[in-house]
Amino acid sequence: MSKTMSINAGSSSLKWKLYDMPQETVLASGIVERIGLADSIFTIDYYNGKRYEVTLAIAEHETAVRLLLEQLIQLSIISEFSEITGVGHRVAAGGESFSDSVVITPAVLEEIQRLAELAPLHNPANAMGIRAFKNILPEITSVAVFDTSFHQTMDKTRYLYSIPMEYYKEHNVRKYGYHGTSHKYVSERAAVLLKKPLEKLKLISCHLGNGASVCAIEGGKSVDTSMGFTPLAGLTMGTRSGDIDVSILPYLMEKESISDINEMIWILNNQSGLKGISSVSSDMRDLHALEDSDEQAALALRIFEDRVKKYIGAYAALMDGVDAIIFTAGIGENDIQTRKNIVDGLSYLNAELSDERNDCRGVERVISSNQSAVQILLIPTDEEVMIARDVERLR
Ligand code: AMP
């Protein structure tokens, strides 16, 4: 029996889950938030609803990891550090270097840092988490699981942009896609739920959270996805614009007297999407609450649904059909109305929801009607367990 940690490190946070493997039992989970500030919040959830929470100054990730491990002993969740035999780290960008998860060596860590040019907000933070654990638990298996690697099966026809070829050859400019671990997890669960071999299925996975992407999965392999070179592309998201005509950028920079392109990109990442359209919130719950009284809030919801429908249509066309459409992540798992509004627009696929089955949140189930030609599935995602599984596989 081995205990494995699944880690998602952000620039000021560290989210974690501790598993007993191979049973995949969650022993504890938690988050350290506001790292670097005087009032960092440190939480551990364990044993049937118990919670340990404390606010204190945590200067850096390594201190957070040390505190976390010591507290796991204090709470008798582990008896010594050596019980933890593996740790898996979520890493945003693996570029073309990593088409699968890997054991982290000094060369791998160096490459993750080099790939920060593809994910400047995420990879450096992920690397910080990796170094923190390496310094404290140098002997245990340490594995990197990339958001991009599932999409490395895409064909050139899908991942190349229609720009001069030397930009790909010299600078690796191409579509990488993200959320790969989630799309992979839900596709595997879909095969179980449908009792069909994954190799025989055409699936469209809609990961609809604050960040959102759609993925076309044929025979268990990603064949196209809506995010691009960075996670800015594709669907309308909480605060990200999704697809946009890039000519808008210089036009707006002139009109708004913005001299720095990075400011424009920041606006597209942080002030756009649902938040930008509605002018009030990036959160679907807020928008639904305002839907009847606020035109912009309603418009944001309609645009969100519209973009999801558009990608579903595009991917059904690319795969020449679809067996099942999957909804996952915060919105996909919980937003009953949005799921209904999306599927109501798919009658040309003879896809139909069962209102009764759709009336639920966060449970794995078929939500289409018995007459529906396409199965509609609600599958709560679990990226953490995928990370823990990869640690076990590579240990
Ligand atoms: P995620 O990034 O996967 O955590 O998803 C976050 C998003 O899920 C939030 O921005 C909310 O808009 C959405 N969400 C969570 N719970 C609900 C709910 N009960 N109804 C509608 N949307 C929800």
Which two tokens mark 23? Answer: 């049973």
Name the pLDDT band for 292 (thresholds 50, 70, 90).
Answer: very high
For 245-281, how does the pLDDT look when each residue is reduced to its tens digit (9 = 90+)? 999 999 999 999 999 999 999 999 999 999 999 999 9
> Over 90: is that where the pLDDT of 379 sits?
yes
Q: How many domains does the chain have?
A: 2
Establish whether 283 is an annotated binding residue. Answer: yes
Residue where a domain stops, chosen among 146, 174, 207: 146
Same domain, 221 and 295: yes
DSSP 253-306: HHHTT---HHHHHHHHHHS-HHHHHHSS-S-HHHHHHHTTT-HHHHHHHHHHHH
Q: Which of 79-83, 144-148, 156-160, 301-305 has the lowest mean pLDDT?
A: 79-83
Across the range 118-139, mean pLDDT stands at 93
Same domain, 9 and 104: yes
**Domain for residue 371, yes or no?**
yes
**Domain for residue 169, yes or no?**
no
- Percentage of the chain modeled with pLDDT above 90: 97
Name the pLDDT band for 207 (thresholds 50, 70, 90).
Answer: very high
Which two tokens mark 254? Answer: 């002139």
Work out the mean pLDDT of the chain and round it to a whole number.
Answer: 97
For 36-86, how does the pLDDT look when each residue is reduced to its tens digit (9 = 90+)? 999 999 999 998 899 999 999 999 999 999 999 999 999 999 999 999 999
Please tell me the predicted confidence (pLDDT) of residue 48.
84
How many whole angstroms separate alpha carbon 192 and alpha carbon 309? Answer: 25
Q: Are 3 and 18 in contact (CB under 8 A)?
A: yes
For the stretch 274-277, contacts whose Cβ atoms lie closer than 8 Å and that sit 24 or more positions apart, written own/partner, are 274/236, 274/237, 274/238, 274/239, 274/300, 274/301, 274/304, 275/238, 275/239, 276/239, 276/241, 277/236, 277/303
Residue where a domain stops, chosen among 107, 123, 146: 146
Q: Give the CATH number, domain containing residue 139.
A: 3.30.420.40
Same domain, 230 and 320: yes
**Domain for residue 161, yes or no?**
no
Which atom of ligand 1 approaches the CA of 329 most closely? Answer: 3
CA neighbor of 190 nearest in space, from 333, 291, 325: 325
> Over 90: is that where the pLDDT of 143 sits?
yes
332 CB near ligand 1 (under 6 Å): no
Q: Are 235 and 241 in contact (CB under 8 A)?
A: no
Please tell me the predicted confidence (pLDDT) of residue 199.
98
Same domain, 98 and 9: yes
Residue where a domain stops, chosen among 130, 146, 162: 146
Concerning whether 344 is annotated as a catalytic residue, the answer is no
In terms of residue numbers, what domain contains 236?
195-378
Name the pLDDT band for 97 (thresholds 50, 70, 90).
Answer: very high
**Domain for residue 153, yes or no?**
no
How many whole angstroms separate alpha carbon 327 and alpha carbon 339? Answer: 8
285 CB near ligand 1 (under 6 Å): yes
**Domain for residue 390, yes or no?**
no
Which two tokens mark 383? Answer: 């990226």
238 CB near ligand 1 (under 6 Å): yes
Same domain, 107 and 205: no
Helices vs strands, H then E, count in the chain: 15, 14
Same domain, 199 and 345: yes
Same domain, 141 and 203: no
> Over 90: is that where the pLDDT of 91 sits?
yes
Same domain, 208 and 86: no
Across the range 353-361, mean pLDDT stands at 98
Same domain, 33 and 127: yes
| CA–centroid distance, residue 26 to ligand 1 (Å) | 23
> Over 80: is that where the pLDDT of 1 sits?
no
Across the range 186-198, mean pLDDT stands at 98
**Domain for residue 157, yes or no?**
no
Q: Are 147 and 92 in contact (CB under 8 A)?
A: yes
Same domain, 103 and 23: yes
**Domain for residue 19, yes or no?**
yes
Same domain, 350 and 203: yes
**Domain for residue 172, yes or no?**
no
What angle do helix axes 61-74 and 123-136 make, rounded to 10 degrees? Answer: 50
Same domain, 303 and 241: yes
